[in-house]
Structure 1
Amino acid sequence: MVLRRTAGMSDLGPESLIDGPDDRILPFQVEGLDVRGRVVRLGPSVDAMIARHGYPPIVSKVLGEAVALTALLGSSLKFEGRFQLQTKSDGLIDMIVVDFEAPDRVRGYARFNEEGVAALKDARLPTGGLLGRGHLALTIDPGGDMARYQGVVPLSGESLEDAAHQYFQQSEQIPTRVRLAVAEAWTGGSIPSWRAGGLLVQFLPEAGARVRVKDLDPGDAPEGAAVPAEPEEDDAWTEAQALVETIEDHELIDPMVTSERLLFRLFHERGVRVFDGSGVQEKCRCSREKVETMLRQFPEEDRRDMVADDGSIVVTCEFCSTRYRFDPDDLKPRGGEDQ
C-alpha cells in the first residue's frame, strides 16, 4: 500500500507512519467496512487543564476522559459553534463541564467532594462509580439566533464510553463505538504529564437498510407483551467493533504510537484512509470585559452582597482559575443607562 495524498486525504501505508503531534484530531474512513471515525490524542492541552486546578489523580482521569470525548464529538461540527458536555450527578465527582468551541478550542473543569475523594482507599475506582447517578447532557449551540440542540442520557454507574453509546443509540440512531484512555506518562521531562486519547468509529453504509439499531427499553410495557427480537448486526459493523475492541489503553496515549500507526494496525487489511487532521488548544473564553458585562446584569442590591471584606468584587473563572477583581463603584450605571 502506498501513500497517496489527494484532496486532503491519504491512504495509510507503512512509510506514512511518522510520529505525529499531540493535541490533534485525525478523521478517517475504512471503505471496506463502511465506517468513518476520528482519533484524538491530547498532551499539553489536557495536562495544562489538570495542572491549573491541581486535581487529585482519580479526578484528573475522569476529566481527561470527558475532554477526549468532547473533542471527538465537538470536532464533527461543520460550523463555528460550541459543543458542551456536562454531567450532573450524586457521586464524588458531582459535575463536569467541558466546552469545545469550533474549530479547535477546548476548556473544562470538574467539581468534586474533596473530603470524600481524599478518603478513598481504592484509587482504581471506575469512572461510573465516581460519577454515581444523574445525567449526561450533550449540547450543540450554533450561536446567533439558531436553536440549540441537547441530548440527555441517564448516568447510573456506567462509564462515559457507555453513556456515549446510549446517546448515539437514542438520539442519533447511528451504530457507534467509543474508546477512551487517560494516564500520566513520562515524556522526557522531570515529572510525568497527563495524556488522554480516544477513538470514535461509526457505521455509515450508503444503504441505510443495512443499519439495524436495537430498540430502546420499552419501559412499563404490559406483562406478557411481545419483546422485539434483537436485530442482527451487519457483518462489516461486527468486524469493525471486534477490531476496536483490540485497542489497549496505552495505544491511545503512548506518544510513540501515533494515530496513524494505530489506525494502520487496526484496519490496514481493509484499507484505511485518513483526512487532514486539525489541532486542539486549551483556551478559555473568559475575559474581563465578559465578566464585567455579566456583573452589570445583576441588580445593584445583589452586587452589594458580592462585595468582599476588602471592598472589591472578585470573580474566579471555574475553567481557567483566572481571578477578576472589580471596584463596585465602576459597575454602577453609566450616564444614559437605565437606572
Structure 2
Amino acid sequence: METEIRTLGEPGFAGDDCVLPFEVDGLDVRGRTVQLGPMIDAILGRHDYPEPVARLLAEAIALTVLLGTSLKFEGKLIIQTKGDGPVDLMVADFTTPGSLRAYARFDADRVEAAERAGTTSPTELLGNGILAFTIDQGAYMQRYQGIVEMKGETLEAMAETYFRQSEQIPTIVRLAVAELFDKDQDGNPRHSWRAGGIVVQFLPQAPDRMRQPDLPGGDESEGAEGFHITDDDSWAEAKALVATVSPGELTDPEVGAERLLFRLFHERGARVYPPVPVFDQCSCSRERLGEVLGGFSAEELAESVEDGAITVQCEFCSTAYRFDPSEFEG
C-alpha cells in the first residue's frame, strides 16, 4: 500500500491526538507536529496533579508522542527524568503504533512551597539529574539508551542536546501546554488541558551540511574563542521560521497542525503524510501483575495482605487490581 502524501492546502485535517509527519524539500527538513486534547486531559485529570506538575508532564507527553511515532519497528520509547527537584521522577511510555501512558512522582510539600515562592519553572521543578531516552525493540533485542544531564535546561533544550550528542542531527523542539476554563452546555464550569509540539530536523542528502560545532570539551584555556561553524542557510531559515511559533499556535484547535505548517512553510512547498493517532492506553493487566505477585515469597505475600486481599494499583492509569491470597498458595 502506497503512503499517501498531500501538499498543504489540499482537503484533510489531522485534528486532536494525531501526530502529523511532514517534510519541506526546499529546506531539507523533516518533522512532526501534534495537538493533544482529550487524550492528555484524561491522563492528567486521572491523577489530579498540581498545576505546575501537570504542565511539566504534559510537555513530556507531547515530546514522547512526537518522537515515538517515528519508530519504524514494534517497540517502545520511554522518556524518563530523575532529579533532585520537587518532581523527582517523571515517565512517559510510548508503545507502537500509538499507545501512551505517563505519570509523575512528586513531593507535594515541596511543590506547594515552590508555588508559593513562584519557582515552578521546569528547571526548578526537575532540579539536577538526568533525562533518559530508552528505545526497547523487544525481548530479543538489546535496549538502546541515551542520557542527557539536566543542568537547568528546559525539556525542549535537553531534547535538542540529546539529538545533537547521540544522533548528530540538528533539531528544533517546541512544546506548549494550555489550561482551559470554560462552561459546558448547562453552564457549569469546565476545566481541561491541551498540549502541542513540533519537532523539526535538518536532514540534507549531503551529510557534511549537517555538521554543527562540537560541544566544549572543558580543556580550553580561559578566554579562548572556540571554533565556530556557520549554520547552513536552509537550516538557518528553518530555525528562524520555527522561532516565530507562539505557544498559543501549538495548542489552539482553531489553528490546528496543518494550518500551522502552512503558515510556516507554504512558500517552500511543505508536504504532509497521513496522521498517526495516539491513545491513552496503559499496558497493565491483571495477568501481568499476577505473574509478578507469583514470584513473591510466602512472607512477602503475607505482608501485602490488607483486609483479606492483596490490592495493587497501577501508577500510570490508577486501575486497582484485587487478588485473593489463596491464588498464590503453593
- TM-score w.r.t. the length of structure 2 is 0.94
Q: How far does residue 40 in structure 1 lie from its aligned partner after superposition?
A: 1.3
The equivalent residue for 2:51 is 57
CA contact (8 A) 1:58 1:123 kept: no
Deviation track 1:25-74 (CA, whole Å, cap 9, x = no partner) reads 00000000000000011111100000000111111100000000000111
**What is the alpha-carbon distance in structure 2 between the residues aligned to residue 297 and residue 176 of structure 1?**
44
**Does 116-125 or 159-168 show the bigger shift?**
116-125
**What is the alpha-carbon distance in structure 2 between the residues aligned to residue 206 and residue 101 of structure 1?**
30
What is the DSSP-based 3-state SS (H/G/I as helix, E as strand, rest coil) of the residue aligned with 2:80? strand
Q: How far does residue 20 in structure 1 lie from its aligned partner after superposition?
A: 3.8
Give the unaligned 5+ runs of structure 2: none
Deviation track 1:175-215 (CA, whole Å, cap 9, x = no partner) reads 00000001112577341310010000000000111111221
CA contact (8 A) 1:213 1:231 kept: yes
What amino acid maps onto 2:328 in structure 1?
Answer: L
CA contact (8 A) 1:8 1:276 kept: yes
The equivalent residue for 1:325 is 322
* Counterpart mapping for 1:202-221 below 5 A: 202-219=201-218, 221=219
Deviation track 1:114-152 (CA, whole Å, cap 9, x = no partner) reads 112223225572111111110001100001201110000
**What is the alpha-carbon distance in structure 2 between the residues aligned to residue 138 and residue 40 of structure 1?**
20
2:273 pairs, out of 272, 275, 290, with: 275
* Counterpart mapping for 1:56-205 below 5 A: 56-119=50-113, 120-122=115-117, 125-186=120-181, 189=184, 190-205=189-204
What amino acid maps onto 2:320 in structure 1?
Answer: R
The equivalent residue for 1:262 is 260
1:240 pairs, out of 193, 213, 238, with: 238
Over the residues paired in the alignment, what is the CA RMSD in angstroms? 1.8
- TM-score w.r.t. the length of structure 1 is 0.91
**What is the alpha-carbon distance in structure 1 between the residues aligned to residue 83 and residue 22 of structure 2?**
34
**What is the alpha-carbon distance in structure 2 between the residues aligned to residue 7 and residue 313 of structure 1?**
49
Q: How far does residue 157 in structure 1 lie from its aligned partner after superposition?
A: 1.6
What is the DSSP-based 3-state SS (H/G/I as helix, E as strand, rest coil) of the residue aligned with 1:69? helix
- Tell me the matched-pair count: 324
Deviation track 1:266-314 (CA, whole Å, cap 9, x = no partner) reads 0111111001111010010001111001111222222222222x13211
**What is the alpha-carbon distance in structure 1 between the residues aligned to residue 227 and residue 123 of structure 2?**
29
Distance 1:266 1:302, change over 3 A: same
CA contact (8 A) 1:88 1:135 kept: yes
Give the unaligned 5+ runs of structure 1: 1-5, 334-339
**What is the alpha-carbon distance in structure 1 between the residues aligned to residue 120 and residue 213 of structure 2?**
30
Q: Percent identity?
A: 52
